[in-house]
Amino acid sequence: NAGVMQNPRHLVRRRGQEARLRCSPMKGHSHVYWYRQLPEEGLKFMVYLQKENIIDESGMPKERFSAEFPKEGPSILRIQQVVRGDSAAYFCASSPSTGLPYNSPLHFGNGTRLTVT
């Protein structure tokens, strides 16, 4: 019963390094969403992807952040030249491809906690 799988669970990077966060959606789900949770804050939408397509990246910072969801393999959230302010929990969610998307509750992974030292 594989749910949304995220890895790594914890990632430590020094300032200036790159962080790669991976997300495999639930079986049969072709919509992937990335959210960021800063300390004491709610989940903030970052990007919505379907296979090989970025649908909405309005929540992504304009620089250093990118996301992809290739035809094969997991979705990747990439943060280049990380800074301390990038330290947060990053959650991936997926939803089925059928039905009205906004009526389908999102299924979340357990998140990746990024710490930038």
Partner 1 sequence: DQQVKQNSPSLSVQEGRISILNCDYTNSMFDYFLWYKKYPAEGPTFLISISSIKDKNEDGRFTVFLNKSAKHLSLHIVPSQPGDSAVYFCAASASVNDMRFGAGTRLTVKP
Contact residues toward partner 1 (CB under 8 A) are 4, 6, 31, 33, 35, 40-45, 48, 55-56, 58, 91, 93, 95, 101-111
d(CA 23, CA 33): 9
Cβ nearer to partner 1, comparing 4 with 21: 4
Least distance CB 65 / partner 1 (angstroms): 16
- Closest approach, Cβ 60 to partner 1, in A, equals 12
Q: How far is CA 106 from CA 10, 20, 34, 88, 91, in A?
A: 22, 22, 11, 20, 11
Give residue 1's Cα distance to chain centre: 21
Give bridge partners of residue 30 from the DSSP assignment. Answer: none
The minimum distance between CB 110 and partner 1, in angstroms, equals 5
Residue placing its CB nearer to partner 1 in the complex, 55 or 76: 55
Task: Compare residues 19 and 34 and give the one whose CB is closer to partner 1.
Answer: 34
**Which of these, 83, 79, 77, 81, lies nearest to 111 by C-alpha position?**
77
- Taking the least distance from each CB to partner 1, the nearer of 87 and 110 is 110
Residue 101, φ and ψ in degrees, nearest 5: -55, -40
Minimum CB–partner distance for residue 15 and partner 1 (Å):
25
